[in-house]
């Protein structure tokens, strides 16, 4: 089987079948959208909105990608179509890439919904678009791999969403989305530096506000390390759970 055809077939099936499943709509679209609207509407002045925007973008990516994988993998495991993919003549790496690509695309689009709303309140001409897009993409890839790793271990959609929330909600407060990392208690700061979303949010914040805790190249490098590590963990988990 041609790798490109297999990749496109898996991606197309996920996009057409799972994008608008109820669990994905509720957690992947409505939750980040309602949170973004609430924060933007209650924000006072242009400075407040610009400071909130990086966190809203990162949150939209995180919930969009992880919700997508929780839906696609668990539904396919229940219908046994995931088993058929595993016995198909394609590599595990190709399968992982195809599975996460749809989630990455979904999360990437999700990230710019808060930007569209923010544009009604403040001018956004000063954003470094290249850095912002790079930050969103890297967060989307890392979050998608994290979502895949969680979904592989779950049996039902609600179980995958619950396990995802175990990681997602602490990240809202530990990764500098709405509370700066330097304002966290000293005991929590080391944990914050162990989470990929901290560096992705910092990269987007530098692009939007010009203020970042780390150099952009350092953020990119650390996100790349997280991505590579999560990719191999996903491959190992798939092999361990289904391939003897």
Each of the 244 residues of the chain gets a pLDDT tens digit; together they read 567 776 677 777 777 776 666 665 665 567 677 766 676 666 555 447 777 888 888 888 888 888 877 777 777 777 666 666 666 666 666 777 777 788 888 888 888 888 887 777 777 777 888 899 999 999 999 988 888 888 877 777 777 777 788 888 888 888 888 778 888 888 888 899 999 999 999 999 988 888 888 899 999 999 999 999 988 888 887 777 654 4
Q: 69 with 104: CB under 8 angstroms?
A: no
The confidence score (pLDDT) of residue 213 equals: 85
The confidence score (pLDDT) of residue 44 equals: 54
CB half-sphere exposure, 54, CA atoms < 13 A:
32
The confidence score (pLDDT) of residue 80 equals: 67
Structure tokens at 219: 């953020």
The confidence score (pLDDT) of residue 137 equals: 93
The confidence score (pLDDT) of residue 243 equals: 45
Number of domains the chain is built from: 1
Among 7, 147, 133, 156, smallest CA distance to 64 is for 147
Q: 152 with 241: CB under 8 angstroms?
A: yes
For 75-117, give the DSSP string.
Answer: HHHHHTHHHHHHHSSS-HHHHHHHHHHHHHHHHHHHHHHHHHH
Among 72, 102, 98, smallest CA distance to 7 is for 98
Cβ neighbours of residue 121 under 8 Å, at least 6 residues apart? 40, 43, 46, 49
For 224, the domain range is 3-242
The confidence score (pLDDT) of residue 156 equals: 74
Q: 47 with 129: CB under 8 angstroms?
A: no
Query: How many Å apart are CA 27 and CA 151, to the nearest integer?
Result: 15
The confidence score (pLDDT) of residue 47 equals: 47
Among left, alpha and beta (phi > 0; psi -120 to 50; other), residue 45 is left
Query: How many Å apart are CA 207 and CA 85, to the nearest integer?
Result: 39
């Amino acid at each position: 089987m041609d790798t490109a055809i297999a990749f496109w077939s898996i991606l197309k099936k996920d996009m057409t079948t799972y994008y608008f499943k109820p669990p994905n709509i509720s957690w992947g679209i409505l939750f980040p959208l309602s949170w973004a609207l609430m924060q933007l509407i209650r924000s006072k002045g242009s400075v407040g909105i610009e400071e909130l925007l990086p966190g809203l973008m990162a949150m939209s990516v995180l919930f969009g990608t992880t919700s997508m994988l929780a839906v696609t993998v668990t539904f396919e495991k229940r219908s046994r179509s995931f088993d058929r993919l595993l016995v198909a003549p394609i590599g595990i790496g190709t399968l992982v890439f195809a599975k996460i690509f749809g989630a990455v695309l979904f999360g990437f689009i999700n990230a710019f919904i808060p930007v569209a709303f923010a544009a009604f309140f403040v001018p956004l001409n000063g954003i470094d678009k290249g850095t912002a897009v790079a930050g969103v993409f890297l967060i989307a890839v890392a979050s998608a791999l994290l979502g895949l790793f969680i979904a592989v271990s779950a049996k039902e959609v609600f179980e995958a969403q619950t396990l995802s929330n175990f990681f997602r909600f602490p990240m809202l407060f530990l990764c500098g989305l709405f509370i700066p990392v330097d304002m966290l208690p000293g005991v929590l700061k080391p944990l914050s530096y162990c989470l990929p979303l901290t560096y992705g949010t910092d990269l987007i914040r530098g692009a939007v506000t010009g203020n970042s805790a780390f150099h952009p190249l350092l953020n990119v490098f650390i996100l790349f390390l997280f991505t590579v590590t999560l990719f191999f963990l996903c491959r190992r988990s798939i092999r361990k759970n289904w391939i003897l």
